[in-house]
A and B are shown apart, each in its own frame.
Chain A
Amino acid sequence: MSPRPWSSQGWSHPLLHPWSLGLLGILIVFGLWTALASLGVVDRLFLPGPAAVWAAGQEELAQGQLVADLVASVRRVFAGFALSALVAIPLGIAMGANANISRLLEPLLALLRYMPAPAFIPLLIIYFGVDELPKVLLIFIGTLFFNTLMIMDAVKFVPHELLETALTLGGRRRDLLTRVIAPYIMPQVLDAFRVNMAAAWNLVIVAELVAAEDGLGKRISLAQRFLRTDQIFLGLIVIGLIGLAIDLAFRLLMRRRCAWAQ
């Protein structure tokens, strides 16, 4: 119902369309980068131009390196995040629906949440070596508490009228979860996942910088060793683009599945 800024009044000139403005912001930075690099103000070693980064991309693409790294990183993020969601959904719902479970676990989770996940890396390496498992677990640890607490909050704020209406319409307790709570919290859960996915991307790169065979973070770390700033730039841009793509995918999913909450 709420009028969207781009629906009618918000913009009159096509250049004022939010998307064109967003694109403009990106283009300005891109332009500055190109100008700085081509003017030679900064040493090329420190600031490779767009052309050099593009070439590095072509090279890594031809070698198959880029795709392999991308797949490795994405796989870790998705495995870790899926595991986190799998635990966070039932745990968050249980905490949101039951005051005693919430009292038991909320202080603990609030404490754990403030322990920076990267600080767990040394322990994870001692316990599980440098294979896939510690990286997946790092993402799991780094997103579990946020996911759980955000889902808990969503459940706590389900209006009691909606629950009680279901009971007076002949619903049983177990109907409440599937017919009322689940659909009500869906948009907030998707939004929590979208936000926390960004943390998962941070963590996978950190894990790969520390110890990995492949992945986008590993490539950046290797590039540092050979002063290949063009490859570092490439890695950063690719990571940013994937993050953006995931963010947009969540938004699209939300628009499709939870149009009522827009």
Chain B
Amino acid sequence: MELILKDVCKHYSQSKPSDLVLDRINFSIRTGQFVALLGSSGSGKSTVMRLVAGLEFPSSGQITLDGQPVRGPGSDRGMVFQKYSLYPWLTAAQNVAFGMELQRLPRSEVRERTNYFLEVVGLRDAGAKLPRELSGGMQQRIAIARALAAQPKLLLLDEPFGALDLQIRESMQEFLYQLWQTTGLSVLLITHDIDEALLLAQQIHVLAPRPGRIIHSLKVDLDHSDIMGLRISSPFLEQRQALAQCLRQMDGAIT
């Protein structure tokens, strides 16, 4: 798998150049990589994700997945949103099965893989529950299971833990890291949370707002052997400080 964004620009009106949302975005993701786009609101990071998902189209530039231009949404790019991520009328298991049913997989296979992915996210016993009976963190885990069950080449996460309480968010981040480790997923994560990006991603692209553009890219090389302790280790805090400064500087530039 290789996703490549090449000189991707996006604007919503041709007439006003000031409406430029994204300015020449370039980056790529290969199989098994975990890449984060870090930016404040208005940086167009969600737009990048929507373009990759095929829900919107670039005004210029190219997005290709394994050499093929992205022409619309498809099951090769699974997506998890921050809100309204589950179908409220379906049970957790039915939500996980939803994509496989849309793809018209045989019933037995759907059942088998639903159970498997419920197990993967640690919610085997919650299969019969409705989304409203699940906590926010459980709901997002089901949403991730549903996306994975559709067998995407690339998982797109749009601030998936943004609506969760801090404590739950931290345990979900650890969950996601372990999931990535065990499954070898390719992930594109959108976040405004520096800790989240540093903790999870191998590569971080920092986006500046108006117009959205990548102003800084860095490889993260932290020791993940103790993920709980990582948050308070000094290399982590140093990088965190540097990134915070980077974000603050560009905020200063606009105000």
**A residues in contact (CB < 8 Å) with B:** 1, 159, 161-162, 164-172, 175, 179-180, 183-184, 186, 258-261
- 7 closest A-B pairs by CB: A169-B99, A170-B75, A167-B73, A159-B84, A161-B84, A168-B79, A171-B102
Q: How far is the CA of A167 from the CA of B152 in the complex (A)?
A: 13
Q: Which of B85-93, B173-181, B234-242, B247-255 contacts A (4 or more CB under 8 A)?
A: B85-93
Kindly state whether residue B57 has any CB partner on chain A within 8 Å: no
Known contacts A161-B84, A260-B89; A170/B102 CB under 8 A: yes
With CB as the reference atom, state the residue of chain B lying closest to A1.
B132
Q: Are B87 and A159 in contact (CB under 8 A)?
A: no
Residues of the A chain whose Cβ atoms lie less than 8 Å from the Cβ of B53: 164, 168
Q: Are B89 and A261 in contact (CB under 8 A)?
A: yes
Residues of the A chain whose Cβ atoms lie less than 8 Å from the Cβ of B103: 169-170
With CB as the reference atom, state the residue of chain A lying closest to B151.
A170
Known contacts A1-B132, A164-B53; A170/B87 CB under 8 A: no
Residues of the B chain whose Cβ atoms lie less than 8 Å from the Cβ of A183: 87, 89
Q: Are B89 and A184 in contact (CB under 8 A)?
A: yes
Known contacts A1-B132, A159-B83, A161-B83; A168/B75 CB under 8 A: yes
18 additional A-B pairs beyond A162-B87, A260-B89, beta carbons within 8 Å, are A159-B83, A161-B83, A165-B79, A165-B81, A166-B98, A167-B72, A167-B73, A168-B79, A169-B102, A170-B75, A170-B103, A175-B102, A183-B89, A184-B87, A184-B88, A258-B89, A259-B130, A260-B130
Q: How far is the CA of A259 from the CA of B54 in the complex (A)?
A: 34
Q: Are B146 and A167 in contact (CB under 8 A)?
A: no
**B residues in contact (CB < 8 Å) with A:** 53-55, 72-75, 77-79, 81, 83-85, 87-89, 98-99, 102-103, 130-133, 146-147, 150, 152, 156
Q: Are A161 and B89 in contact (CB under 8 A)?
A: no
Residues of the A chain whose Cβ atoms lie less than 8 Å from the Cβ of B84: 159, 161-162
Q: Are A164 and B73 in contact (CB under 8 A)?
A: yes
Residues of the B chain whose Cβ atoms lie less than 8 Å from the Cβ of A175: 102
Q: Are B89 and A170 in contact (CB under 8 A)?
A: no
Q: How far is the CA of A164 from the CA of B51 in the complex (A)?
A: 12
Q: Are B102 and A165 in contact (CB under 8 A)?
A: no
Residues of the B chain whose Cβ atoms lie less than 8 Å from the Cβ of A165: 79, 81, 85
Secondary structure class of chain B's binding surface, majority of residues = loop
With CB as the reference atom, state the residue of chain B lying closest to A159.
B84
Q: Are B78 and A169 in contact (CB under 8 A)?
A: yes
Give the Cβ gap from A168 to chain B, nearest Cβ, in Å: 4
Q: Name B74's contact: one of A1, A170, A260 (CB within 8 Å).
A: A170
Q: How far is the CA of A166 from the CA of B78 in the complex (A)?
A: 10
Q: Name A167's contact: one of B55, B130, B147 (CB within 8 Å).
A: B55
Report the number of A-B residue pairs with Cβ-Cβ less than 8 Å. 73
Q: Are B132 and A169 in contact (CB under 8 A)?
A: no
Known contacts A159-B83, A162-B87; A168/B132 CB under 8 A: no
Q: Are A161 and B81 in contact (CB under 8 A)?
A: yes
Residues of the A chain whose Cβ atoms lie less than 8 Å from the Cβ of B77: 168
With CB as the reference atom, state the residue of chain B lying closest to A172.
B102
Q: Are B102 and A166 in contact (CB under 8 A)?
A: yes
Q: How far is the CA of A180 from the CA of B86 in the complex (A)?
A: 11
Residues of the A chain whose Cβ atoms lie less than 8 Å from the Cβ of B55: 164, 167-168
Residues of the B chain whose Cβ atoms lie less than 8 Å from the Cβ of A258: 89
Q: How far is the CA of A186 from the CA of B99 in the complex (A)?
A: 21
Between A and B, 16 residue pairs with Cβ closer than 8 Å are A159-B84, A161-B83, A164-B73, A167-B73, A168-B156, A169-B150, A170-B74, A170-B75, A172-B102, A175-B102, A183-B89, A259-B130, A260-B130, A260-B131, A261-B88, A261-B89
Known contacts A159-B84, A180-B87, A261-B88; A169/B130 CB under 8 A: no
Give the Cβ gap from A157 to chain B, nearest Cβ, in Å: 11
Residues of the A chain whose Cβ atoms lie less than 8 Å from the Cβ of B87: 162, 180, 183-184
Q: How far is the CA of A185 from the CA of B24 in the complex (A)?
A: 40
With CB as the reference atom, state the residue of chain A lying closest to B77.
A168
Residues of the A chain whose Cβ atoms lie less than 8 Å from the Cβ of B75: 168-170
With CB as the reference atom, state the residue of chain B lying closest to A184.
B89
Residues of the B chain whose Cβ atoms lie less than 8 Å from the Cβ of A170: 74-75, 99, 102-103, 150
Residues of the B chain whose Cβ atoms lie less than 8 Å from the Cβ of A1: 132-133
Q: How far is the CA of A167 from the CA of B75 in the complex (A)?
A: 8
With CB as the reference atom, state the residue of chain B lying closest to A162.
B84
Give the Cβ gap from B156 to chain A, nearest Cβ, in Å: 8
Known contacts A159-B84, A161-B83, A260-B132; A168/B89 CB under 8 A: no
Residues of the A chain whose Cβ atoms lie less than 8 Å from the Cβ of B73: 164, 167-168
With CB as the reference atom, state the residue of chain B lying closest to A183.
B89
Residues of the A chain whose Cβ atoms lie less than 8 Å from the Cβ of B88: 184, 260-261
Q: How far is the CA of A186 from the CA of B90 in the complex (A)?
A: 13
